[in-house]
Structure 1
Amino acid sequence: MTAVPLAMPDEAVAHPLTARVGQITGRLPEETLLDAAQQEAASALAAPHRHGAYLWGPVGRGKSLLAEAYFAALPTRRKRRVHFHDFFLELQSALGARRVPLDRALNRLIGGSRAILFDEFHAHDVADAVYLTATLRHFIDRDVLLIATSNDPPGELMPGLWHEHFVPAIRLIEQHLDVIEVADGTDYRGVGSKIRSATGFSAGSWALSPTRAPSPAIEMTTENGIVLTVRARSAERITATFEDLCGAPLGTPQYLWLADRTTALTLLDVPDLRTMHRDALLRFCHLIDVLYDRDIRLDVHARALPERPLDTAVPARSLERALSRISALRHD
């Protein structure tokens, strides 16, 4: 069931920025037909919000499409769309390398924006928890309208060992944002894969290929001194093995750094997903997230077709999101 916005207390004042349902649907791509759950979510999104909305639901259900249409319809030019991980990477860089105080760093990142769209709100790094609560409070205190999309309901962000670090941020989301679910239905990402782009992530492929001896290693060193191993590098494409990028102890910041340096990635010798070790599989999911979000073409040479493991400790939504995104690739 879609969670509709609750009636605001008498003392609460609706944010001046809002968009009607017709303005939202009018900004969707031509011939877009919303199913019942998406229509209900669009109606909830168009209701007045005090501080914003948190739009969540399964993969491929049009959350970003609805959020971006709403965001485009907001009657202001003072707004910014930013990817969740890019924002916090930039924030951590300002705090670390330039030693800027947190409030000043947030002011610089937000600028004069009256509205922020956080697309793909899924936490991979416990370091994000350190700044997420402060960032949300900053938005609320300055009356910045926040729109966020996620596969996870707020209470399930960062499941497992580090969940408790996210509890203060979760409470802020639940108390100050309208939590709207786009309920289960067709995964339109898989349907849309029949019409392929000539560039970007969905122009890539998943091909069955036997294991072969890799080329000699090439080292790439990040600004923080972390070494990434790849096998070939040109202005347009980087080639690496699965073990190079997912077997090594790398994380989302390193994958973002790599994505900034190419428009295409070839990933060699990818094992059967059903036999991957948990840590390697989780890193693979994070890598897919980054490449998809940055629209980097991905060409995979794998030992098997991508099938869901029957039993894995990897968070279910991370895995389902990765599999949905992989479905956009051409399978040879």
Structure 2
Amino acid sequence: MGKVSDLYRQRVAEGRIRPDAAQQSVLPHLDRVLDDIAAAPAPEKRSAWRAFLGVGSPPPAPAARGLYLWGGVGRGKSMLMDLMAEAATVPVRRVHFHEFMQEIQAGLNRARLRGDRDTVRPVAMEVAAKVRLLCFDEMQITDIADAMIVGRLFQVLLEQGVVIVTTSNRVPEDLYKHGLNRQLFLPFIDLIRQRLEVVCLDSQVDHRQGRTAGGQVWFCPADAAAKAAMDGIWDELTGGEGAPRRIEVGGRGFDLPLFAEGVGRAGFWDLCGKPLGPADYLALSRAVQVLMIDAIPRLSASNYNEAKRFVTLIDALYEAKVRLIASGADEPEQLYNEGEGSFEFERTASRLREMQDADWGQQAD
């Protein structure tokens, strides 16, 4: 089994990451997880149905203790998760927590159609049959459907010898805070404390802010030069990687065209040309830490509905302290100069200007 600390030192020597004392302080915890996996006997896998019926060998011993790494945005948690997945020599999956839960919910629906009485166990067993180490990035529980099954899901995975490592912006006790029927979720927090080592990445440096702070984050006009600049920032923040992400809202959802490493990217019409509302934009603001919006047009009576949605979107991003990088037809104050809604847009223009400040949003949790 490799060591995360060795890969970290290698990346520093190559100039691919900047050394950070807080990151270095958590490397032993990541190494400990891989050492524990290497020292533990590999669990004997049974098929989901044989395990469900209790047929075959007894269930494996509980998994080695995992890790819950939490801290503010831009502290390098996702990067450390990447290094852990790379260093592991056992079957590993590194996945965004939201994406994983979507897969689980789809599996539960299939189990219900089969008529399974216990829908969670066979789905969890299918996962356990494929991996020994599950690396979740950005654990956050905002959906009641996820909140009601995640405890049972983790319990079965851990029973089957799967080691779980996850990152989050929140301490475990703040997960699903103020959520509906939260008392039913509290045992999951206890499970995290019992089975995962909880470690805070307490860095004073926001590496993601450092890439944009002091640099240009609003580009106009929205021409080829602006697109090239936006593409360059995207490459810097994500390494050029990215894939569509489904933003779920109350049993429905919409697609964000590109998402990677907490950074989302979409065109104006992707977000404002569709019948989306406050709940959609609030869900989006919870899903991303940085949002890039391409080609914001001039706003007027001719695109009044789209302009109203844009105002609602900016309000949601502003309240959530999401970092905004955008290209537009003009400066914020000149986007909406006449027609119904132009007076009200002055507040949005002011927020867009404030969101360009180098230190804006650094107080986000």
TM-score by length of 2: 0.56
The answer to whether the Cα contact below 8 Å between 1:71 and 1:117 also exists between their aligned partners in 2 is yes
Q: Taking structure 1 as reference, are residues 93 and 299 closer, same or farther at Cα in structure 2, changes over 3 Å only?
A: farther
- Aligned letter for 1:113? V
- 1:1-332 paired onto structure 2 within 5 Å: 19=3, 21-26=5-10, 30-31=14-15, 32-48=17-33, 49=36, 50-76=64-90, 78-97=91-110, 99=112, 101-162=119-180, 163-193=182-212, 198=231, 226=252, 238-241=269-272, 244-247=275-278, 252=283, 269=307, 270-271=310-311, 276=315, 303=349, 304-305=351-352, 307=354, 320=364
Identity, % of aligned pairs? 25
Cα offset for 1:264? 7.7
CA RMSD of aligned residues (A): 4.4
What is the alpha-carbon distance in structure 1 between the residues aligned to residue 22 and residue 88 of structure 2?
A: 22
Cα offset for 1:252? 4.9
Q: Taking structure 1 as reference, are residues 227 and 320 closer, same or farther at Cα in structure 2, changes over 3 Å only?
A: closer
Runs ≥4 residues deviating over 4 A: 194-197, 199-204, 224-229, 248-253, 263-268, 297-302
Structure number with the bigger relative contact order (C-alpha 8 A, sep ≥ 6) is 1
Question: CA-to-partner distance for each residue in 1:140-160, whole Å, 9 max, x for gaps?
Answer: 101111110100011111111
The answer to whether the Cα contact below 8 Å between 1:239 and 1:266 also exists between their aligned partners in 2 is no
Cα offset for 1:79? 0.9
Question: CA-to-partner distance for each residue in 1:104-162, whole Å, 9 max, x for gaps?
Answer: 22233454211111001111112111111012112210111111010001111111143
Larger-Rg structure: 2
Cα offset for 1:165? 3.1
Q: Taking structure 1 as reference, are residues 167 and 108 closer, same or farther at Cα in structure 2, changes over 3 Å only?
A: same
Question: CA-to-partner distance for each residue in 1:182-209, whole Å, 9 max, x for gaps?
Answer: 10311110112359772785789xxxxx
- Aligned letter for 1:245? L
TM-score by length of 1: 0.61
5+ residue gaps, structure 2: 37-63, 217-228, 238-247, 256-265, 297-305, 333-347, 356-360
The answer to whether the Cα contact below 8 Å between 1:246 and 1:281 also exists between their aligned partners in 2 is no
> Does the residue aligned with 1:124 lie in a helix, a strand or coil?
coil
Question: CA-to-partner distance for each residue in 1:41-76, whole Å, 9 max, x for gaps?
Answer: 112222245321111101110011112112210122
> Does the residue aligned with 1:180 lie in a helix, a strand or coil?
strand
Q: Taking structure 1 as reference, are residues 98 and 298 closer, same or farther at Cα in structure 2, changes over 3 Å only?
A: farther
5+ residue gaps, structure 1: 1-16, 205-221, 230-235, 257-262, 309-315, 322-332
The answer to whether the Cα contact below 8 Å between 1:264 and 1:298 also exists between their aligned partners in 2 is yes
* Number of residue-to-residue matches in the alignment: 254
The answer to whether the Cα contact below 8 Å between 2:23 and 2:203 also exists between their aligned partners in 1 is no
> Does the residue aligned with 1:179 lie in a helix, a strand or coil?
strand
The answer to whether the Cα contact below 8 Å between 1:18 and 1:74 also exists between their aligned partners in 2 is yes
- Aligned letter for 1:271? V
Whose helix proportion is higher, 1 or 2? Answer: 2
